[in-house]
Chains A and B, each alone.
Chain A
Amino acid sequence: MSSDILLFIVYCVAVTALAWPLGLFMARLFSGERTLLTPVLGPIERLFYRAGGIDPEAGQNWARYAAACLAFNAVGWLILYAILRLQGHLPLNPQGFGGLAPDLAFNTAVSFVTNTNWQAYGGETTLSYLSQMVGLTVQNFVSAATGIAVGAAVIRGFAGRASDGSDARNLGNFWVDLTRAVLYLLLPLSILLTLFLVWQGVPQNLSAYVDATTLEGARQTIAQGPAAAQIAIKQLGTNGGGFFNANSAVPYENPTPLSNFAEMAAILLIPAAFTFMFGRLVRDMRQGVAIFAAMGILFLGALALTYGAESEGNALFANLPVEQAAGNMEGKEVRFGVGESALWATATTAASNGSVNSMHDSFTPLGALAPMLLMQVGEVVFGGVGSGFYGMLAFVVLTVFLAGLMVGRTPEYLGRKIETKEVKLAVIAFLVMPLGVLVFGAAAATLPVALASLQDKGPHGLSEILYAYSSATGNNGSAFAGFGAATPFHDTLLGIAMLLGRYVFIVPMLAIAGSLAAKKKVAPSAGTFPTDGPLFVTLLVAVVLILGGLTFFPALALGPIAEHTAMLAGETF
């Protein structure tokens, strides 16, 4: 217990201490300044621009920026879809896996291009090494870089400074942001993390699966592969799609408590750094710290709920001859126990990572409620790389709007008036989550073709549906894995939810940034609501909880909360 609390503190301190300097580095990187790595990577960067016919000095307004982003993601989707369909005919396939069915390939390609990385497949039983490397690893990088690029562009709009200093409406250049995010940020961090993980025991080879003869004389086939390189970017890019089916619960994917800590820190590192990068770019560090504080408060609240519930264990086992001091261990690994499993579950659903080191489907009802809610509020508690930050900015717009309503003034944020257009766009972005979770989820909860995928009966069955559609729309990718999502119905509907959750967030947020960038700065007056103090932090937390809570509470009451009361009453289903 006390050692778990100490671990949580060490984790929060470590992430903050690493994210602060990284945020300042990212601010330099996305201002076009030289960095330590420029002498090494500059030639590769310039080669990319020359080959692509890209003028790195040319700015893009929000619409062109969005068009570039969509074009790049569309091409990436086509390539990945083709690789998955054709993998049976492609090399680096020692296990001889065939191509994926159309619906599964659609779902998986959408999933990795949108940075969701939902796994409707089992890695080691479905995918060749080529698909894992050339297909998935590439999208792990570039979908993360897409989110980071859009995040940087949105911040430029809010900061009101074009990267090239010419046209105030320019948000930067998507191709430059994308290339820089990959070369200077994601690739160096991934190389470091890969080597650390291999040192801890994560395999990195291209061998066929190993046949061992066990001590009892049985034959055991052990899956292998170039795992470490993919796992590093899976964590750093808030991707989350595992190399192996059971993700970071598998000892090969996460062998030791140290690998576990590094992978957990990697989940929140870049999302947290975004708040400090924001502070630097708007030239007021307190603005970034305020958003960091609001995210931190929501994170700690969710962690407390999950950890408390999991430590209690399963109330149904109370009368069995079982010593449950270790807590709820179904679906958990001994080397991590309840503490590190609860911390991971909170971090992975706060950030839109979605990797797991324990099976969330087997969490206690309240232990699974917090991860579900973190996804449903739109992945804004640190959130995905870039996407979590611009998602939180949508809530910031709504918060200053509500504050403005209370005092009867036109709201301002960072010296720019927030008017009807920005609020409407923020509401459009906000409504995507209810659409994906409640409307699509309702369809999945009523149609017989959809219900065949449920593993559990009773309220837990509804939780499985809610969790799947929250995860897809929030671009998280974690799953109640008992839910059999690999059917044409769910593959397709979840795929559409992922697309909506990604792009109906990106486009409105870029539009808000473009609109703000074109506005004149107004001097703060006595009526300006300060957005860097504890009052604003409290209000922002409240807005996230009230909007999210009011939207999803009825559904949560029928799922995890009903299951919790059933568990206490000794009922099984």
Chain B
Amino acid sequence: MIDQLRPAIILSVLMTVLLGLCYPLAMTGLAQALFPAEAAGSLVERNGKVVGSRLVAQTFSAPGYFHPRPSAGDVDAGASGGSNLGPTSAALFERVSSEAERLSREAGGARVPVDLVTASGSGLDPHISPEAAFFQAPRVAKARDIPLQQMRDLVRRHIEGRSLGLFGETRVNVLALNLALDELRPAGNNGVPVAEGASSRTQ
């Protein structure tokens, strides 16, 4: 085995240079040349400021915004993760039942789409199901003082279908939908109680 050490050490060093430096750096250069926006994280800007990433959920809690799915990690985009609670976990059952009952009560007894009461795998799921968006539409419409029909149309325009009609599930990107909402009826306009966090904070 000793006589194998020389090739072992030299090949390890050469592989490290090729695969640990040349490969990722070349890929970084090529990626940034071909797909600059994606390589940089698909960031979304408004008025020249980065407001988030199209691919990463952010917290929405004001009634005038659509809310994302529950996140086990408080939507911390620096530390992803799910709840990892097992199916018979008492903690999971209590969380789901109290959330479901609260949301159902607020919606006048309607059944809650399951994705709104279950934590996503990443804690950063940027999407909700179309059912979950329609479920929230009355609350958002009321808070923003927008006719419900107009709100539903807005949601409908933001439904992304399956890729090539086959891959994935139909879904709604929450950040894109909320950005469109702000354009339709800007936050703070009309005394709408949106973005309480923003108004109470001096920016």
Where the two chains meet, the residues of A that have a C-beta atom closer than 8 Å to any C-beta of B are: 3, 6-7, 10, 44, 47-48, 51-54, 64, 67-68, 70-72, 74-76, 79, 122, 124-125, 133-135, 137-138, 141-142, 175, 178-179, 182, 187, 190-191, 194-195, 198-207, 209-218, 220-224, 226, 228-230, 244-246, 249-252, 255-258, 260-261, 313-314, 316-317, 320-337, 339-341, 356-359, 361-365, 455-460, 463-464, 480-482, 563, 566-567, 571-573
Partner of B41 from A44, A53, A203, A339 at Cβ < 8 Å: A203
B157 at the interface (CB under 8 A from A): no
A246 contacts B11, C-beta separation under 8 Å: no
Known: A142-B15, A206-B28, A217-B198. A458 touches B166 (CB 8 A): no
Q: How far is the CB of B124 from chain A (nearest CB, A)?
A: 6
B65 touches A246 (CB 8 A): no
**Contact yes or no, A133 B4, CB < 8 A:** no
With most chain B CB atoms within 10 A of its CB, the pick from A141, A214, A256 is: A214
B190 within 8 A of A: no
Contacts of B109 in A (CB 8 A): 321
List residues of chain A with CB within 8 A of the CB of B92.
Answer: 330, 362, 572
Asked if B147 CB lies within 8 Å of chain A CBs, one says no
A388 smallest CB distance to B (angstroms): 22
Chain A residue with Cβ nearest B203: A217
A321-B101, A333-B127 are known; give 20 further A-B pairs, CB within 8 A: A3-B166, A52-B7, A71-B5, A138-B19, A187-B23, A204-B32, A213-B50, A216-B195, A222-B77, A223-B80, A244-B80, A246-B122, A257-B168, A258-B167, A317-B100, A322-B112, A323-B131, A331-B121, A334-B125, A335-B125
How long is the Cα–Cα vector from A230 to B129 in the complex, in angstroms?
30
| Residue from A200, A218, A229, A358 within 8 A of B59 (CB atoms) | A218
Instruction: Count chain B residues whose beta carbon lies closer than 8 angstroms to a beta carbon of A.
Output: 111
Please pick, from B35, B115, B167, the residue contacting A260 in the complex, using a CB distance under 8 A: B167
Give Cα A545 to B120, complex, Å.
33
* In the complex, B144 has a CB within 8 A of chain A: no
The answer to whether B113 touches A201 (Cβ under 8 A) is: no
Q: Say yes or no: B127 contacts A321, CB within 8 Å.
A: no
Give 1 or 0 for each of B127-164: 1 = CB within 8 Å of chain A CB: 11101000000000000000000000000000000111
Determine which of A70, A75, A460 lies in contact with B87 in the assembled complex, contact meaning CB atoms within 8 Å.
Answer: A460
Cβ-defined contact, B8 with A567, below 8 A = no
Name the one of A224, A226, A249, A573 contacting B120, with C-beta atoms under 8 angstroms: A249
Establish whether residues A7 and B80, one from each chain, have CB atoms under 8 Å apart when the complex forms: no
Instruction: List, sorted by A's number, 24 A–B pairs whose CB atoms are closer than 8 Å.
Output: A6-B166, A71-B5, A122-B80, A137-B23, A142-B19, A194-B31, A198-B38, A206-B28, A213-B51, A216-B196, A220-B75, A223-B77, A226-B28, A249-B82, A249-B121, A258-B163, A258-B164, A323-B112, A326-B169, A328-B87, A328-B118, A335-B171, A337-B168, A359-B84
Inter-chain contacts of A331 with B (CB < 8 A): 82-84, 118-121
The residue from B65, B118, B131, B195 contacting A330, defined by CB atoms under 8 A apart: B118
A572 and B89 contacting across the interface, CB-CB below 8 Å:
yes
Knowing A222-B41, A229-B24, say if A329 contacts B118 (CB, 8 Å).
yes
Given A138-B16, A334-B115: A573 and B89 interface contact (C-beta under 8 Å): yes
Residue pair B49, A229 in contact (C-beta under 8 Å): no
Chain B residues near A566 (CB, 8 Å)?
Answer: 88
Give Cα distance in the complex from A191 to B203, angstroms.
43
Q: A-facing mask of B21-40, CB < 8 A → 1, else 0? A: 10110011011101100111
Task: Tell me the smallest distance from the CB of A176 to a CB of chain B, in Å.
Answer: 10
Chain B 1-16 interface 0/1 with A at a Cβ cutoff of 8 Å (1 = within): 1001111111110111
Instruction: Contacts A191-B27, A204-B39, A328-B87 given; indicate if A245 touches B81 (C-beta within 8 A).
Output: yes
Chain B minimum-CB-distance residue to A199:
B35
Check A216 against B65 for contact (C-beta < 8 Å): yes
Task: Identify A54's interface contact among B7, B52, B178, CB under 8 A.
Answer: B7
Assembled-state Cα–Cα distance A199/B39 (Å): 8
CA distance A327 to B114 in the complex (A): 8
- Give chain B nearest CB distance to A149 CB in angstroms: 12
Does A194 contact B27, Cβ atoms closer than 8 Å? yes
A573 to B92, CA, bound (A): 10
Chain B residues positioned under 8 Å from A330 (CB to CB): 82-83, 85, 87, 92, 96, 118-119
The reply to whether B31 and A222 form a contact with Cβ atoms under 8 Å apart is: no
Interface contact A201-B42, CB-CB below 8 Å: yes
B129 near A334: Cβ-Cβ < 8 Å: yes
Residues of A within 8 A of B192 (CB): none
In the complex, which of the residues B52, B65, B78, B125 contacts A125, with contact meaning CB atoms closer than 8 Å? B78
List the A residue with the shortest CB-CB distance to B167: A257
Compute how far the CA of A194 lies from the CA of B29 in the bound complex, rounded to whole angstroms: 12
C-alpha gap A160/B6 in the complex (Å): 29
> CA separation between A96 and B176, bound complex, in Å?
33
Complex contact A141–B82 (CB within 8 A): no
Q: Is the CB of B77 within 8 A of A220?
A: yes
Q: Is the CB of A133 within 8 A of B122?
A: no
Give Cα A88 to B52, complex, Å: 29
CB distance from A434 to the nearest CB of B (A): 25
- Nearest CB of B to A385, in Å: 15
What is the chain B residue whose CB lies nearest that of A341? B121
List the 8 closest A-B pairs by CB distance, nearest first: A257-B168, A217-B198, A249-B121, A482-B84, A460-B86, A257-B167, A134-B20, A246-B80
